[in-house]
Amino acid sequence: MLINKYTSQTETYSVLDIDGNVTKVGYTIPLTNEEIQKSYYTMLLSRRFDEKMLKWQRQGKMLTFPPNMGEEGLQVATAISMHKDDWFAPAFRSAAVYLHKNVPMWKIMLVWKGNELGNKMPEELNFLPFNIPIGTQYSHAAGIGMALNYENKPNVAYTFIGDGGTAEGEFYEAMNIASIRNAQTVFCVNNNQWAISTPTAKETGQLDISSKAIAAGIDYIKVDGNCLFASVEAARAAREHVLQNKKPILIEFVTYRMGPHTTSDNPRVYRTEEYEKEQEKKDPIIRLEKWMMKNGLLDEAKKAELEEKINNEIEEAYKTMENHLSVSVSDIFDHTYKTLDESLLEQKAEALKIHGGK
């Protein structure tokens, strides 16, 4: 049973082992071959995108950046479960969801280059900007979920937070008000084992993070976030549960942050190479890749072709991003304020006079 009610849980639901074998007898894969191939493509794209962004940041070509390495499976699974007109209030480490939902890659790059215009999403997506403060996205998703319930909409709001974020007051407050007001919200915890340099055991007294939902009176799921198939099942079950019961739910995706917290972090200070290598055996991309190889959906030639395609797409996206970097003085005022009062109009005029509109 995926969904648990008011009882602590220690078992993590999983389907694929680290060698890409299905561990459940008679198991039905929850995705079509086409969906699996698209998922693999997005996960690999996200990984190569992160690797490029890390290099570019070290070269001074990008600003501070939080890679998604290790969380690709759970993020793509969540994106798969989203229906049209659902909402997404992301954390800062959520780029794989954006990529799977076809947000242009150059827009994501633009955000991490310091230009807010990158947060302007395609019209068909109800996506909020990347959220930098820890925990406030939970309140955003709670409020949106309350509105969806009030308007009797058949949709939900999704949000992510890291395991460290579950120690924030806003984590509990958002779930509590969402529970009281019957918000149609799927709260997700990406338990990647580290809150920057702090391990889970030193950031929370309850290592079964999923059961923190009990305090808010909501149900929860604990799932292997490095297993795409299990994560898809969990995300879909959570969405259905929310709409059927008009109550929020919490999913704990158990995963591992393979890279640094951000480009300003050095994991080698607090993690040994031996520890990292052991954890990397659970890599969601490698597990899916092994399953696909065994089931005729991938071979070395196809993988090499895909790698080349992805590399070219990332390089082209960077060139496109560079063409959107220019910001005028007018943009700074007009993007920040819907309307300008007299004092702001005076400031804008003075700035334009001094800087000539550049």
By CB atoms closer than 10 A (0-12, 13-18, 19+), residue 348 is: middle
Contacts with 97 (C-beta within 8 Å, 6 or more apart), sequence order:
75, 76, 78, 79, 88, 90
| Separation between Cα atoms, residue 309 and residue 314, nearest integer Å | 9
Whether residue 13 lies in the annotated active site: no
Catalytic member of 47, 93, 261, 287: 261
Catalytic member of 93, 100, 140, 257: 257
Whether residue 83 lies in the annotated active site: no
Name the phi and psi angles at 304, rounded to 5: -60, -40
Q: Could you give the residue ranges of the DSSP H alpha helices within the chain?
A: 33-58, 72-81, 95-100, 105-111, 136-150, 169-180, 228-245, 273-279, 284-294, 300-322, 329-336, 342-355
Whether residue 48 lies in the annotated active site: no
Catalytic member of 6, 27, 150, 270: 270
| Separation between Cα atoms, residue 254 and residue 184, nearest integer Å | 23
| Separation between Cα atoms, residue 39 and residue 25, nearest integer Å | 24
| Separation between Cα atoms, residue 58 and residue 95, nearest integer Å | 20
Residues noted as catalytic: 257, 261, 270
